[in-house]
Amino acid sequence: MACNYAEPAGTSTLAAVSAAVQGIEQHLKKTYDKATLRGSGEYEQVLWAVADHGDLNRNIDSMLQSYLRVAASMGNEPIDREAFVARLSTLKSDSCGQILESERRGFYRYREGMMRGYVRLRAEERGIELNTDYEVGPTSTTMWRQPSARRVFRYKEPDKIYEE
């Protein structure tokens, strides 16, 4: 089902994203800037890679694949796996505002859920298209019906009805 949203005259999607980024809470901006104002942009790209999937807890190999795609889309030479893991570890430290956390070896996530959304906005502002949050999966053909007052359980599949 397609939605028809009219864009306000004289604005674009990029302008709307930029306005959203500028209006975001200051503590998110400060933490993001603290984490990314080092190196030659790798930290920012690593953060984008962490946010590049619907899973909130991501493993290193999955994030590395996202990072390689992000670096390629920016035309940058990617860092190797060892350097990537070192960047992830640094992003957990106080010097980077503890923007990431890891409760399980090899898995990382954002310490604050809102930070993940902010990181996705910043990537969009820079023209980097991250994967959608939720993948479209197969739909079920089973339709559930409310049990009647006699407590007869029924469910319906497209061509059969079962009763217990």
> And the tokens for 67?
């990072």
pLDDT in tens, 8-61: 544 577 777 777 667 677 788 889 899 998 777 889 999 999 999 888 899 999
160 located within any domain:
no
Main-chain dihedrals φ then ψ at residue 110, nearest 5 degrees: -75, 140
Closest CA to 41 of 123, 156, 120: 123
157 located within any domain:
no
Q: Which domain holds residue 58?
A: 13-125
pTM of the complete model: 0.67
137 located within any domain:
no
Tally of CB atoms within 10 A around 119: 24
Closest CA to 90 of 23, 35, 10: 35
154 located within any domain:
no
What amino acid is encoded at 85 in this protein? Answer: V
Give the span between the Cα atoms of 158 and 74, in whole angstroms: 48
Task: Please tell me the predicted confidence (pLDDT) of residue 46.
Answer: 94
pLDDT in tens, 98-125: 999 998 999 999 999 889 989 998 999 8
pLDDT at 135 over 60: no
> And the tokens for 47?
């953060």
**CATH number of the domain that residue 71 is part of:** 1.10.10.10
Task: Please tell me the predicted confidence (pLDDT) of residue 151.
Answer: 54
Task: Please tell me the predicted confidence (pLDDT) of residue 107.
Answer: 94
Specify the pairing of strand 154-157 against strand 107-110.
unpaired
What is the number of domains present in the chain?
Answer: 1
Task: Please tell me the predicted confidence (pLDDT) of residue 68.
Answer: 94
Tally of CB atoms within 10 A around 28: 20
pLDDT in tens, 59-85: 999 999 999 999 999 998 999 999 999
Closest CA to 52 of 137, 127, 129, 136: 129
Give the span between the Cα atoms of 23 and 17, in whole angstroms: 10
Task: Please tell me the predicted confidence (pLDDT) of residue 3.
Answer: 47
pLDDT at 142 over 50: no
149 located within any domain:
no
